[in-house]
Structure 1
Amino acid sequence: MAYIQVTYVEPYFDTSELQRRLTHFEKSYGLKRFMYATPFTMDGRAHGGLNEQYKRKTILTTERAFPYVKTRISVIEREQLILTPIEVAIEDIQKKTDELKVSTTQEPADAKILQMVIQGCIGTTVNQGPLEVALTFLTPVVEGKEQPTIHHNRIRLCFKEFTRRCAEALKRNKTLIGPDQREYQKELERNFLRFSERIQPLISCKPVRKAKRFENIK
């Protein structure tokens, strides 16, 4: 019995391509490589804890470039990349950072989308969210239980950028809300303050100063 697997793919660009394909048009035309991801753990489960979660990226190369006169084109090459748990975490934080950047700079601004993104990043009810990611992968290094690797340095830098984008998003949101959402804004700022205070010792090699409050956001 034969099976057909139907799955969603997205365009795949390596580092050199991303440097060349800068515009939306360039990222939408002349596409020959596509990617889909499959989560897995070493014990056979699809999903596990943050430090157990691997990801398999399957990259497909087609015979001709899309868009094309035909909607189906033969795949001529297939390769796989395996991401370790910390690499999966780095990719996830980078994605959230990009979402913050897009929703903050979007014109015209969309307060609902912006608030959804902020809530997903620093909301207190977010399970396995950014703070949990930082605690999982950086605490052993801070406590001296693990030697820092290039991936630990990368994730530290990712969290610094992520934290900066969160602050920008909060400032942007404050300019968009009405009187009825002022308390909600304060709650978001409190959440961010708690997040900053907990993550700062993990991403800073210097003595940590208490995070500044947001009363002066304008």
Structure 2
Amino acid sequence: MFGTYFRVGFYGSKFGDLDEQEFVYKEPAITKLAEISHRLEGFYGERFGEDQVEVIKDSNPVDKCKLDPNKAFIQITYVEPYFDTYEMKDRITYFDKNYNLRRFVYCTPFTLDGRAHGDLHEQFKRKTILTTSHAFPYIKTRINIIHKEEIISTPIEVAIEDMQKKTQELAFATHQDPADAKMLQMVLQGSVGTTVNQGPLEVAQVFLSEIPSDPKLYRHHNKLRLCFKDFTKRCEDALRKNKSLIGPDQKEYQRELERNYHRLKEALQPLINRKIPQLYKPVLQVNSHRDSFSRISLRKFDI
């Protein structure tokens, strides 16, 4: 019933008034990025000539100075509806989350040396939030973007978001009604499987093995530590749920998952139990003069 959304940017003098304009397109719910790319490339190819239209394959900011002035360029990016935390309290149902949509988001991974992807400790993420002039559903299937906001996430913030997402997936698969054993096992395998690249254990070893030297990272370090505590609890709940769903033919698979989980938990324990002492100091230092005054006041009440 509802749609899939894409950000479409037009670059080049051939587009006339559309040059450097950006829109959010609403497409049928099953539309893939390749489909809309092929359709728009074909549509504008007929107008300008097939060799005059080029689709920009990434979602990085476009530097128009680096583009061929004789060509028309289209940049297409998949976007999702974006909600602030306070909005989620009112957007509970599937309908709520697909109605009156004005803000959309897409994420672009990058590293400081220009590569899109790198090791965990150097992986940044640019989150771009778009605001449209009207809300979907609308009488038109594309709406102008009138505001753009960028938020840069540091590597440890990227790790926190990834762990929160994994934890939410586990919680959803565990409490899904009706239960879906295949989905649950797939999420479990991705969480506790021993062959998971850049999996939870590697994330913990990279970011939690040492207390950061920069005090500005203390809060992030502590937040990630608490994320892992929640994650291990959700893994345990998911394993218990899976045990109640499987038949006799999957008992060995269940035992293997449990062994992997216990190995993961054992390796995580020293990392997630280490607290940063500076975060647990008293917030207010009691003044000795005020303290003595308080004791005098208390004596008066005793009298």
Describe the SS at the equivalent of 1:4.
strand
Report the equivalent of 2:257: 188
What residue in structure 2 maps to residue 106 of structure 1? Answer: 176
Q: Point out where structure 2 has 5 or more consecutive residues left out of the alignment.
A: 1-70, 276-303
Q: Post-superposition shift, 1:25?
A: 2.4
Amino acid in structure 1 at the alignment position of 2:192: I
Report the equivalent of 2:299. Answer: none
Q: Deviation at 1:19?
A: 3.3
Going from structure 1 to structure 2, the CA distance change for 1:135 and 1:129 (only over 3 Å counts) comes to same
- The answer for the alignment partner of 2:83 in structure 1 is 13
From 90, 97, 100, give the equivalent of 1:30: 100
Instruction: Tell me: higher relative CO, structure 1 or 2? Use CA pairs within 8 A at least 6 residues apart.
Output: 1
Give deviations 1:27-63, integer Å, cap 9, x for gaps. 2211100001100000010000000000001111001
Q: In the alignment, is residue 97 of structure 1 matched against residue 167 of structure 2?
A: yes
TM-score where L is the length of structure 1: 0.89
2:220 corresponds to: 151
Kindly indicate whether the alpha-carbon contact (under 8 Å) linking 1:53 and 1:85 is maintained by their aligned counterparts in 2.
Answer: yes
- Structure 1, unmatched stretches of 5+, are 207-218
When you count strand as a share of all residues, which structure comes out higher?
2
1:21 match: secondary structure? coil
Residue correspondence of structure 1 range 1-218 to structure 2 within 5 A: 1-141=71-211, 149-205=218-274
Local SS of the residue matching 1:42: coil
1:92 deviates by: 0.4
State the Cα distance separating 1:192 from its structure 2 match. 0.2
Greater helix share, structure number: 2
Amino acid at match of 1:175: S
- Which of structures 1 and 2 has the bigger CA Rg? 2
1:146, CA displacement in angstroms?
A: 6.4
CA deviation map 1:176-210 (0-9, x unaligned): 1111100000000000000000101111148xxxx
For these two proteins, the number of residue pairs brought into alignment is 204
Retained in 2: the 8 A contact 1:140–1:146? no
Aligned residue type for 1:187: E
Q: Distance in 2 between the 1:39 and 1:205 partners?
A: 30
Q: Please give the per-residue CA displacement for 1:102-122, whole angstroms capped at 9, x wherever unaligned.
A: 111111111111000000001
Q: CA, structure 1 residues 145+57, in 2 after alignment: closer, same or farther (shift >3 Å)?
A: closer
Separation (CA, whole Å) in 2 of partners of 1:28 and 1:182 = 40
What is the CA–CA distance in structure 2 between the aligned matches of 1:4 and 1:184, rounded to whole Å?
A: 48
1:149 maps to a residue whose letter is Y
Counterpart Cα distance in 1 of 2:219 and 2:159: 14
Kept in 2, the 8 Å contact 1:52–1:85? The answer is: yes
Separation in 1 of the partners of 2:130 and 2:87? 16
Q: Residues of 2 paired with 1:200 and 1:67: CA distance? A: 48
For 1:110 and 1:4, the matched residues in 2 are separated by: 40
* C-alpha RMSD over aligned residues: 1.5
Bigger CA drift: 12-21 or 103-112? 12-21
Question: TM-score by structure 2 length?
Answer: 0.65
Counterpart CA distance in 2 for 1:113 and 1:188 is: 15
